[in-house]
């Protein structure tokens, strides 16, 4: 019976968990590492998204699936009506305006403080080689783990009927890894670069909400795939899950500056609670580095 790699030694955390022959995160300065990074950067430049197929080999994927399955009962489910910006409607604008377009969001999230230090996914999240790879691909000298104890590392759990309607991410980029696909539905669709730090581009967003698919891209993600996505600028959704098999996705949240904490009201909506740091922010107030709505 093969011995599973240790999960308590940071230096070996990626060994056996990632296909290091195809994706040499342990040798990014080598020729293969340089080629991988350039390929990822080119794809990101084209449409703001890159998918690394079979990032996790099959034998490790079985372990990851068992882990997210074990964690999934801790998911907090909430059902709400939300617009793409997770904010209130604007009565001064017409009903067709994106700020006034609400859809059902039924979603489950396992918060970061439910995911122990000994889990495989947290070992990967905290691994320096993994972080360096992500930072290099997204064009940053370094990235930082969230200081948000609920949103730093999250498992998204979608059961039958759950969906994540059109929305933007709070962070500039997001890294996800699917560990289980549903029997049907659960398709990831996005409109790359539909907005920018300089403007919301409400006109084109409204077209997407009206059913215009001319600028949409759709992905058939599979368990073991790693996705790097500029979700702050690309409108995206996950279509309703069909069947009795849950869809599990791990979300590795990083920021370009240290100390990032999500909005308290967002934590309350997504996780059903706030951490002490969110309650402190409620008293102090917080500001974003851009002027976008969410």
The share of the chain scoring above pLDDT 90, in percent, equals 79
Q: What percent of the chain has pLDDT over 70?
A: 93
d(CA 230, CA 276): 29
184: in domain: yes
Mean pLDDT of 228-252: 96
The pLDDT, as a whole number, for residue 2 is 40
User: The domain containing residue 278 runs over which residues?
Assistant: 10-284
CA-wise closest residue to 48 among 198, 177, 232? 232
CATH of the domain at 212: 2.60.120.620
- Look at residue 50 and tell me whether its pLDDT is greater than 60: yes
- Choose among 271, 273, 275: nearest CA to 78: 271
Rounded CA gap, 35 and 32, in Å?
5
End-to-end CA distance of the chain: 51
By CB atoms closer than 10 A (0-12, 13-18, 19+), residue 81 is: exposed
pLDDT for residue 281 is more than 60: yes
Sheet harboring 174-180: ordered strands across? 49-52, 226-229, 174-180, 247-252, 153-158, 103-110, 76-82
For the chain, state the CA radius of gyration. 19
Cα 200 from Cα 105, distance rounded (Å): 22
Query: Does the residue 175 lie in any domain?
Result: yes
Look at the chain and report how many structural domains it folds into. Answer: 1
Listed range (93-97, 160-164, 215-219, 267-271) with the worst mean pLDDT: 267-271
As to burial, measured by CB atoms within 10 angstroms (0-12 exposed, 13-18 middle, 19+ buried), residue 106 is middle
pLDDT at 289: 57
- CA distance linking residue 64 with residue 11, whole number of Å: 19
The residue whose two tokens read 């859809």 is 103
The tens digit of pLDDT for each residue in 198-221 reads 999 999 999 999 999 999 999 989
CA distances 91 to 98, 100, 114, 291, Å, are 12, 8, 39, 20
| Residue 104 covered by a domain | yes
What is the pLDDT, as a whole number, of residue 68? 97
Q: Is 237 a member of any domain?
A: yes
* pTM for the whole structure: 0.88
Does residue 12 register a pLDDT over 60?
Answer: no
| Residue tagged 């098999």 (tokens) | 245
Average pLDDT of the residues in 60-64 = 92
Residue 294 in any domain: the answer is no
Domain contains 2: no
Classify residue 3: in a domain, yes or no: no
184-185 and 247-252 beta bridge pairing? unpaired
Encode pLDDT of 71-82 as tens digits: 999 999 999 999
Structural domain includes residue 1: no
């Amino acid at each position: 019976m093969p011995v599973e790699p240790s999960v308590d030694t940071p230096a070996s955390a990626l060994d056996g968990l990632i296909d290091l022959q195809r994706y040499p995160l342990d040798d990014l300065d080598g020729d293969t590492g340089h080629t991988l990074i350039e390929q990822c950067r080119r794809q990101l430049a084209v449409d703001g998204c890159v998918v690394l197929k079979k990032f996790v080999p099959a034998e490790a994927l079985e372990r990851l699936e068992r882990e997210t399955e074990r964690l999934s009962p801790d998911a907090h489910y909430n059902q709400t009506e939300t617009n793409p910006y997770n904010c209130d409607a604007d009565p001064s604008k017409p009903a067709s305006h994106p700020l006034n377009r609400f859809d059902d969001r039924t979603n489950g999230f396992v918060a970061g403080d439910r995911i122990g230090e000994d889990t495989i996914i947290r070992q990967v999240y905290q691994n320096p080689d993994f972080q360096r790879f992500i930072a290099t691909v997204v064009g940053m000298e370094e990235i930082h783990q969230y200081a948000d104890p609920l949103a730093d590392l999250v498992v998204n759990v979608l059961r039958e009927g759950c969906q994540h309607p059109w929305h933007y991410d709070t962070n500039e980029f997001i890294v996800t890894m699917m560990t289980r696909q549903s029997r049907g539905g659960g398709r990831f669709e996005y409109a790359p670069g539909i907005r920018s730090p300089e403007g919301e581009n409400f006109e084109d967003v409204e077209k997407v909400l009206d059913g215009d698919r001319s600028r949409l891209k759709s992905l058939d993600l599979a368990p073991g795939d790693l996705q790097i996505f500029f979700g702050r600028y690309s409108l995206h959704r996950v279509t309703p899950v069909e069947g009795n098999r849950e869809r599990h996705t791990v979300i590795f949240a990083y920021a370009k500056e240290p100390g990032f904490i999500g909005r308290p009201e967002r934590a309350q909506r997504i996780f059903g609670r706030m951490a002490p740091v969110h309650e402190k922010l409620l008293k102090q107030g917080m500001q974003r580095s851009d002027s976008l709505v969410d």
